[in-house]
Amino acid sequence: QVQLVESGGGLVQAGDSLRLACAPSGRTGYTLAWSRQAPGKEREIVAGISWYGTRPFYADSVKGRFAIERDNRNNMVYLQMNHLVPEDTAVYYCAAGISGGLVTTAYTYWGQGTRVTVSS
């Protein structure tokens, strides 16, 4: 079992930056990812990182703007979001899975989510 708790969401303006944090607990060794779900849209994986933090991956929609960072020493994973646009508005979820990748079905455990709203 893995428990995931997200924090750091909020209301920002377009062009601003925001940093989300996820605190996993329980079993280790999982790939961790950030996913988001906008109103009326399917949930999508936007970034993920392997257990050792050596292979981050990103969705095309956030590549170059978002950065995922894993701190195994403090058992945290972060999503640095820069140059935010209104289309980034969504509930952001932390997820854990064995295989990882950009498909939501690869993840077994999910947090409760943190809301990010980007105003224009």
Residue 97 and residue 41: Cα distance in Å, rounded? 22
Amino acid (one-letter) located at 55: R
Helix or strand (DSSP H, E) at 23: strand 18-26
> Which is higher by pLDDT, 36 or 1?
36
Token pair of 39, please?
A: 């109103």
> What is the model's pLDDT at position 20?
98
Residue 97's pLDDT band (cuts 50, 70, 90): very high
pLDDT digits (tens, 9 = 90+) for 48-90: 999 877 789 999 999 999 999 998 888 899 999 999 999 999 9
Token pair, residue 25, equals: 């607990």
Structure tokens that stand for 45 in this block? 């994986």
Q: Per residue in 2-50, pLDDT tens?
A: 999 999 999 999 999 999 999 999 888 899 999 999 999 999 999 999 9
Q: What are phi and psi of 112, to 5 degrees?
A: -85, -15
Q: Which residue has the tokens 């950065």?
A: 67
Find where tokens 């640095």 sit.
Answer: 80
Please say if the pLDDT value at position 108 is more than 90.
yes
Q: Is the pLDDT higher at 1 or at 93?
A: 93
